[in-house]
């Protein structure tokens, strides 16, 4: 079991709160709730988000592991209250629901969600016992955890950005050729986090069309880490290769059905001479690469180039024009249940993708430079950078 930067989340979508406990945060790391709240707010935005986002104002409360603005080295506990819980106190009561309160069971599983498989796995006749935890609401806690991870990475000049490259089959121009900081700026200013204005307008139109038809849309987002040093991850063992860790982390996000690193599936269609990034001398010393089709990873190890990953998000499972299902109580053919939902959450999923990239990279960073305190990590990192400078 790795002893660096491991975490658990807990909490149901309409329960009292979401919580997370992180073990392995280095002592001395500056931490404030404000660092984390920025990303929690970013996750709530996005054209096509549903009614829940009008209720919540996600903010983190740090319950342990931090004193006077600095991590202690002991477990950091994060809590995000669910404002909506006020409306669910009986439905989600830990004890008995209020006397006379309706015990409305959800028995019509939605194709595409965890509903049916989850109910069969855990023996739940009321699907609410599944959907409360399988909901994308859980990603709120992961974004909070990543706020700590991003803080650590920022101390060493590593930053992460995301942008949306496709929604409902509408994709950005392949000719779009912008610096990453310009992509970051445009994404932050876009309602769908798209850096290509004509595509942005078409994406918004596609979302409006889907909403009008009671349908939902998925899409693709890209996450990029800038400033990673050479040498994070390793080729020596299957579970230390960062391609694998990033793919697992991205595909663990609710509704993600695909992940690619760098050129990804396109690299399967081209000859090696059109894929591999040639190695050139950098006039300023060291090496540079002709391209970055590898997405910053070779042999599962960072090579000093931007680390690039993309994820394919399926359209959300709750359709206002429901698909066919079967009522678990009556075994009658029915329409699937309609739960409150988003029409499209791809922009928000990009923020969750940033979170998972930050968590994987912070973990790998601590594996390589790990120390108990930020000062110790700084010393280890400086010595390594010094050695790299001799190449």
Q: How far is the CB of 91 from ligand EPS (least distance, A)?
A: 11
354 binds ligand EPS (CB under 6 A): no
Residues, the chain, total?
391
Closer to ligand EPS by Cβ: residue 140 or 303: 140
- Tell which positions 66-95 bind ligand EPS, by CB under 6 A: 84
Q: Which residue has the tokens 């594996």?
A: 367
- In whole angstroms, give the CA distance from residue 150 to residue 247: 19
User: Could you give the count of Cα atoms lying within 13 Å of 10 in the half-sphere of its Cβ?
Assistant: 8
- Tell which positions 160-219 bind ligand EPS, by CB under 6 A: none
* Contacts (Cβ under 8 Å, ≥6 apart) of 195: 163, 172, 176, 178, 182, 183, 186, 187
The CA-based diameter of the chain, rounded to the nearest angstrom, is 77
Q: Which of 206, 209, 130 is nearest to 167 (CA)?
A: 206
- Which of 107, 305, 325, 341 forms a contact with ligand EPS (CB under 6 A)? 341
- Give all strands (DSSP E) within the chain, no chain letters: 6-10, 17-23, 60-64, 66-67, 70-71, 76-81, 159-167, 170-171, 219-226, 256-261, 279-281, 287-289, 297-298, 301-302, 307-313, 324-326, 333-335
Helix H or strand E encompassing 293: none
- Tell which positions 31-50 bind ligand EPS, by CB under 6 A: 50
Closer to ligand EPS by Cβ: residue 18 or 225: 18
Closer to ligand EPS by Cβ: residue 50 or 258: 50
342 binds ligand EPS (CB under 6 A): yes
Hey, which residues does 226 pair with through a beta bridge? Answer: 159
Closer to ligand EPS by Cβ: residue 13 or 79: 13
Closer to ligand EPS by Cβ: residue 57 or 67: 57
Q: Which alpha helices (DSSP H) does 82-136 contain, by range?
A: 115-122, 128-134
- Which of 5, 42, 52, 312 forms a contact with ligand EPS (CB under 6 A)? 52
Q: How far is the CB of 50 from ligand EPS (least distance, A)?
A: 5
Contact region for ligand EPS (CB under 6 A) — 199-207, 217-225, 312-320, 368-376? 312-320
Answer for the pair 277, 308: CB distance below 8 angstroms, yes or no.
no
Q: How far is the CB of 92 from ligand EPS (least distance, A)?
A: 11
User: Could you give the count of Cα atoms lying within 13 Å of 326 in the half-sphere of its Cβ?
Assistant: 8
- Which of 107, 140, 292, 305 forms a contact with ligand EPS (CB under 6 A)? 140
- Which of 20, 21, 66, 136 forms a contact with ligand EPS (CB under 6 A)? 136
**∠373-379-382 over CA atoms, to 5°?**
135
Contact region for ligand EPS (CB under 6 A) — 16-24, 217-225, 313-321, 356-364? 313-321
340 binds ligand EPS (CB under 6 A): yes
Q: How far is the CB of 348 from ligand EPS (least distance, A)?
A: 6
Applying CB under 6 A, the residues found at the interface with ligand EPS are 13, 50, 52, 84, 135-137, 140, 254, 316-318, 339-342
């Amino acid at each position: 079991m790795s002893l660096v930067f491991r975490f658990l989340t807990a909490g149901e979508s309409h329960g009292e709160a979401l919580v997370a406990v992180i073990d392995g945060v280095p002592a001395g790391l500056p931490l404030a709730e404000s660092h984390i709240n920025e990303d929690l707010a970013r996750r709530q935005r996005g054209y096509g988000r549903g009614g829940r986002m009008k209720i919540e104002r996600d903010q983190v409360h740090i319950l342990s592991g931090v004193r006077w603005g600095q991590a202690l080295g002991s477990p950091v506990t994060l809590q995000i209250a669910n404002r909506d819980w006020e409306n669910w106190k009986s439905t989600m009561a830990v004890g008995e629901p209020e006397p006379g309160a309706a015990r409305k069971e959800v028995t019509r599983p939605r194709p595409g969600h965890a509903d049916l498989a989850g109910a069969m796995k855990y023996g739940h006749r009321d699907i609410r016992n599944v959907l409360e935890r399988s909901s994308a609401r859980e990603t709120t806690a992961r974004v909070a955890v990543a706020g700590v991870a991003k803080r650590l990475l920022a101390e060493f000049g590593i930053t992460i950005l995301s942008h949306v490259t496709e929604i409902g089959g509408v994709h950005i121009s392949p000719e779009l050729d912008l610096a990453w900081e310009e992509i970051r700026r445009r994404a932050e200013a876009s309602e769908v986090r798209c850096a290509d204005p004509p595509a942005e307008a078409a994406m918004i139109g596609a979302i409006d069309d889907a909403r009008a038809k009671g349908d939902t849309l998925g899409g693709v987002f890209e996450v990029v880490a800038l400033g990673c040093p050479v040498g994070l991850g390793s080729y020596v063992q299957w579970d230390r290769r960062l391609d694998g860790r990033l793919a697992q982390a991205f595909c663990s996000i609710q509704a993600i059905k695909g992940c690619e690193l760098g050129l990804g599936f396109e690299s399967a269609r081209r000859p090696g001479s059109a894929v591999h990034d040639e190695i050139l001398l950098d006039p300023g010393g060291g090496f540079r690469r002709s391209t970055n089709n590898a997405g910053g990873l070779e042999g599962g190890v960072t090579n000093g180039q931007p680390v690039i990953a993309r994820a394919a998000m399926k359209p959300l499972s709750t359709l206002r024009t429901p698909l066919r299902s079967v009522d678990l109580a009556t075994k009658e053919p029915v329409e699937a249940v309609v739960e409150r939902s988003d029409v499209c959450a791809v922009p928000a999923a990009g923020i969750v993708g940033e979170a998972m990239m930050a968590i994987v990279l912070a973990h790998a960073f601590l594996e390589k430079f790990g120390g108990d305190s930020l000062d110790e990590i700084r010393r280890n990192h400086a010595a390594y950078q010094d050695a790299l400078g001799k190449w």
